[in-house]
Structure 1
Amino acid sequence: MAGSEHRYRVSVEWTGNAGVGTLGYTQYRRDHVLTAYGKPPIPGSSDPHFRGDPERWNPEELLVGSLSACHQLWYLHLCAAAGIRVLAYRDDASGMMMENAEGSGAFTSVTLRPEVTIAAGDDADRARALHGEASRMCFIARSMAFPVHHEPVIVTG
C-alpha cells in the first residue's frame, strides 16, 4: 500500500558482563542476544577483530545478510511476476568496511553474488536483468549510503 508505514521492533540485550561490568576494555565480553516477538533469538557479538566471539553473528555480517535476503526476496517476487521459474538461489555476498584512525568506520560497498538456477526454456537474459529491478526495489539497499553491487550468474536447469 503506497505511503503505508511499517515498524519493526527488535530487542538487544548485552550478556557479556564477566562480573565487573565495563571496568576495562578487556574485562567484558561483547556477547549479546537479539530477539523479536515469536522468533528464535540470534546470538550476537562484535567482529573478532574487536574482541568478539567468532561463533556469534556480528552486526556487520547481519547487515550484509539483510541486504542479501532483501534482494533475494524481491528477485523471487519479480521472477514469479515475469513468469521465470527459479529453481534454486544461492548468494555468496561480501561487504567491505573501512575503519578510520580513531576507531570509527563505515561500509564502502557490498557485493551480492547470486547464483540462480531457472527452468529450461525460461528467459535467462530477463532473469539476469531482474537483478537490477530487485536492487531498485529492495528496502534495505535503498536505505544504504554505499553502493550495493551485483554479480549474478544465471544457470538453466
Structure 2
Amino acid sequence: MLTLHTAPLLRRDRVGEAVPEHAVLVGGDRIEAVGPLAELTAAHPGVRVRRWPGTLGPGLLHDGPLPPAPTPRERVHALLRNGVTAVVAEHLTDPLLRAAVDRSDLLVLPVAVSAALLPGGRADLAVHRVDGVCLVTVVAGRIVHRRA
C-alpha cells in the first residue's frame, strides 16, 4: 500500500531549504516519489495520506555512543524518539545492543553520511517541531515512533 507523508514544510536533506506543500510517497520500505502534494495526490488517487505538523525530512544519523538506558531496547527507543533512523557501526560493539538495533531496522552505516529523501531510497523519515522535538519517526516505511 502506498502512503503519502506530508507536513507544512518538507526538507529533502538536512541543509536544503524547506519547501511548503510537498510530500513523500512511500511504497513498502522505499520512497516512490518526492514532490508537490497536489501533484502526488492527483497521480495517486485513493492513496493513504498522513498529515503531520512540523517539518518533514530525512531521518537523523546518530554518530556516537547510544544513550544510556536500562536495556538495549530502551537505548534504541531513545534514538527513535529523537528521529534517528541510522547509526554508525563503530558504536555497536555490544552484541545485545547490535541485536536490538537490527530488530528495529535502524540503518547501520560504516561511516557517517548525509541523508536525503530520494526516489528509490529507503523510506527513513522524521517530522520535527520548530523547537526540535520529534513528532514522528518512520524507519524503512514503518512508523516506529509517534508522539501523542
TM over 0.5: no
Query: Looking at both structures, which has the greater relative contact order when contacts are Cα pairs under 8 Å and sequence separation is at least 6?
Result: 2
CA radius of gyration, larger in = 1
Query: Which structure shows the higher strand fraction?
Result: 2
Structure 2 length as normaliser, TM-score?
0.23
Structure 1 length as normaliser, TM-score?
0.22
